[in-house]
Structure 1
Amino acid sequence: MPSSTPSPATRCQRLKAASHRDHDSVDTLVMAARPFADRERYGRFLQVQHRFHGSLLGLYHDAQLNDWLPGLQELSRFAALEGDFQDLALPLPATPAPVQVEAAQALGWLYCSEGSNLGAAFLFKQTQQLALDASFGARHLAAHPHGRALHWRAFVEQVDGLALQREEEAQAVAGAIAAFDHYRSHLRAVFGEECNG
């Protein structure tokens, strides 16, 4: 009799397993948008990033979430993102409407957001062909001062260490999937047919 596949051991491993198709879909759409072909397209990519990270600003400053994840408010890349707009002399969009979710579901949104910083190493490298870097135009894609991997491990340890009820576990998974869907919707809104796959 074939053995059953064991379920992922930790919360973040379970979040990854539950949302990997959504994650892969976002990666595919980002590449289809060719955001690093030129600065004009990169400016459109910044709009996508602004819509997504701006909508999460309230989560990063939420009191309960900062109690659960100490130092969370310092992790938002929204200020750096607005700095990228200023560097490139692009008009700054209005701050998006905030995402309104329960704390457990917010964990999934934050997992998506913080995980994207780990994967941003590739994106950051691509910005160099546009003469952008951590001090000009690509600030929000730059590595955390302590390094991407160390920063991610610290975040994962915090999330995995929380005591959640089964219903809250399910809400966290739903939040991660909703976050990827949210990001896809912004990609399609900004880049149109190029991201309708």
Structure 2
Amino acid sequence: MAYSERRFELRDRTRDGHERLDAAVGAFDSLRSYSHYVGFLGTFRATMDDQLAGAIWPLEWSWRPTMVSAALAQDAQDLGLNAARSMKAAIDLRKPSALLGALYVLEGSTLGARFLRQRAAGLGMTGAFGARHLSLMSNDMAQWQSFLLLLDDACDFDMDHAAAAANEVFALALRCFESGRVVYQ
């Protein structure tokens, strides 16, 4: 994996939020706990999709994030969950550094997806049923490498803006996981 000084500084500045989110996700060790995970993640990713839809992408960026909301919606349907709805959020992504900070959280989740995919497989979830989003997230590690290049090559990068946005995204994810809004069909 390529060395990214900005990545590691963002990791350090978001450690608390990341650890709190990991603890909230917990160890899905049953189909019920996995269903809760899919429902909460669906809410989070739908909310972030809404946020990203309003972002202004710098013209020089040809790279785009991995979108997993559609796969999560299919996974939710497999598990008998209602489709996720986005929550109210107002993360300011107008500055490219803030957008990169938010994307750091979203794209960084692909690293953990490999581990989560193995745990989901132990519950009978596959890339064709119940774990499409994990399959999508963990299949292309080149996407993460491409993001790191974008992060490292960004001009006029402001670490404070990036870290603030990344922490807001972690806080949003935690709100989604703590919301208890998973609804079974």
Normalised-by-shorter TM-score class: 0.7 to 0.9
Residue segments in structure 1 that go unaligned for 5+ positions in a row = 1-7, 192-197
Higher helix share: 1
Aligned to 1:83: 74
Residue segments in structure 2 that go unaligned for 5+ positions in a row = none
Matches of 2:176 and 2:85, distance apart in 1: 15
Aligned CA RMSD, in angstroms, stands at 2.5
Can you list the C-alpha shifts for 1:37-66, whole angstroms capped at 9, x where unaligned?
A: 222222211121012111111344456326
Matched, 1:175 2:131: no
- Give the CA deviation at 1:71: 3.4
- List 4+ stretches of structure 1 deviating above 3 A: 58-63, 66-69, 95-100, 143-146
* 1:131 paired residue among 117, 124, 133: 124
Matched, 1:122 2:115: yes
C-alpha change, 1:171 and 1:130, in structure 2 (3 Å) is same
Q: Looking at both structures, which has the greater relative contact order when contacts are Cα pairs under 8 Å and sequence separation is at least 6?
A: 2
Matched, 1:38 2:50: no
Matches of 1:53 and 1:98, distance apart in 2: 12
Matches of 2:31 and 2:6, distance apart in 1: 38
Taking only the aligned residue pairs, the percentage that are identical comes to 24
Question: In structure 1, what residue type is equivalent to 2:69?
Answer: F
- Give the CA deviation at 1:100: 3.8
Aligned to 1:194: none
Matches of 2:164 and 2:60, distance apart in 1: 19
Tell me the matched-pair count: 177
Can you list the C-alpha shifts for 1:121-150, whole angstroms capped at 9, x where unaligned?
A: 1111100121111111101111558633x2
Report the structure number with the largest CA radius of gyration. Answer: 1
* 1:190 paired residue among 163, 180, 185: 180
Aligned to 1:155: 147
Aligned to 2:106: 113
